[in-house]
Homo-oligomer: A and B are copies of this chain.
Amino acid sequence: MKTQLTPAEALKTVLEAAPVLGAETVAARDGLGRVLAEPLVSTRCLPPAANSAMDGYAVRAADLVYASRANPVELEVRFEVAAGAVVEGEIKAGEAARIFTGAPIPPGADAVVRQEDTEDLGDRVRVGVEVGAGEHVRNAGEDVREGEEVLSPGTLLGPADLGMLASLGRSVVAVHQRPRVAILSSGDELVEPDGDLAGGRIVSSNSYSIAAQCRELGAEPLYLGIARDSPEDLGRYFRAGLHADVLVSTAGVSVGDRDYVRAVLQKLGCTWMFWGVRMKPGFPIAFGRFDADGPIVFGLPGNPVSAMMTFEQFARPALRKMMGHGAWFRPVVEVVLGQRLEKKAGRLHFVRVRLERRGDGIIAHVTGSQGSGVLRSMTRAQGFLIFPAEATELRAGESASVQVLDPAFFDSSEPGF
């Protein structure tokens, strides 16, 4: 097992081990936000038949050559075509049909005159404009031709895609599966949110923040509960999670006497790939895999900030890959530091920051205490500033990269018009 990896080395190992999940077929309307796992080939034309884009009269363009307000042409109105109706007749020279938006163009007609450009004379209509062939007609296949690939595999399905699926008569669609993530906390001091805090007990908040991190990116969390610090209890809980795609535990992976997580999972068949990444917060993270169809395993540190940070840096990109996404990483923006930062060389620090737009630039402000137990600083963070491993100082006014977490950061307070 490797140790003292750089974050980049650790990430590479994790991404290589994470498989892209197979397809499942879901109801088309449930496809929003999922990644398409098939080429979507149209089995029909859209629109299926030529139809009118306006309320007016279906005509033969040739009949209206040189027609104008001063020299109108009169046509005989043979019948009426409503939207959704089956056309009963045909238009011959000198004839027209009353037509409504969306109604099929009757045989013989090749254009539509808008109602505004006509005068209703009962069984005849007076037309005061010329029209070109095809005017105000939506042709069959204008939007989509039969046999055409409309959406490619890998497409993130959005509202317009769901409208397209409906238009094509598709009630189901093949998308990549969502990873199931079994989540486990361990520690004798942990209780659920409604638990008694006597004896310095604390709430197992990690399972809640990590389950939310899963949901936020579209994975399915399975919360297994709190295991006590004993090999037997840990083994029992871990076995309940082995059928998941990903197993995430928090705490118990350090070097203390009671850190049983690695030994217990190894006994269950986990091959550990690395332990200890040169980053802060989050050094004591372990990553492993089971053979064949078993899960990949993240043994995250127990401190609330370290647990969320290591999930964010390693589990999130892996889960995005598993779901079939193209881009696996958060937006990365260049910022200017609002204050001086210093640290020892050797580990990359992820500094929790708030982001302030100023002119064309972004200023990053540290969110108070950066202790790995201080969840407070995480609730305030809009991003993680990357303080490189070998750097010991970043001066106020210097540039740095920030991973942007806040989904509202890019939103605008103005519509743009």
Of the candidate stretches A233-241, A265-273, A368-376, the one touching chain B is: A368-376
CA distance A328 to B411 in the complex (A): 7
Q: Which of B170, B199, B329 contacts A104 (CB 8 A)?
A: B199
Nearest B residue to A329 via CB reads B412
Q: Are B229 and A412 in contact (CB under 8 A)?
A: no
Q: Are A160 and B331 in contact (CB under 8 A)?
A: no
Q: Are B29 and A100 in contact (CB under 8 A)?
A: no
A314 shortest CB reach to chain B, Å: 10
CA distance A378 to B115 in the complex (A): 29
Nearest B residue to A7 via CB reads B417
Q: Are B187 and A83 in contact (CB under 8 A)?
A: yes
- Interface presence of A319 (CB below 8 A): no
A273 shortest CB reach to chain B, Å: 18
- Interface presence of A362 (CB below 8 A): no
How many residues of chain A are within 8 Å of chain B by beta carbon?
Answer: 121
A403 shortest CB reach to chain B, Å: 5
Q: Which 10 A-B pairs have the closest CB atoms?
A: A163-B209, A104-B200, A83-B189, A84-B189, A55-B256, A327-B411, A159-B212, A332-B416, A166-B208, A160-B378
Instruction: Pick 21 A–B contacts, CB within 8 A, sort by A.
Output: A7-B415, A44-B197, A46-B375, A46-B376, A55-B254, A55-B255, A55-B257, A82-B229, A82-B258, A83-B187, A85-B199, A102-B302, A158-B379, A163-B205, A163-B378, A166-B204, A327-B411, A327-B413, A328-B411, A328-B413, A410-B410
Q: Which residues of A contact B (CB under 8 A)?
A: 7-8, 11, 28-29, 32-33, 44, 46-49, 51, 53, 55, 82-87, 100-104, 115, 138, 142-144, 150-151, 156, 158-171, 187-190, 193-195, 197-213, 215-216, 229, 254-258, 302, 304, 308, 313, 317, 325-332, 348, 369, 371, 373-376, 378-379, 381, 386, 388, 401-408, 410-417
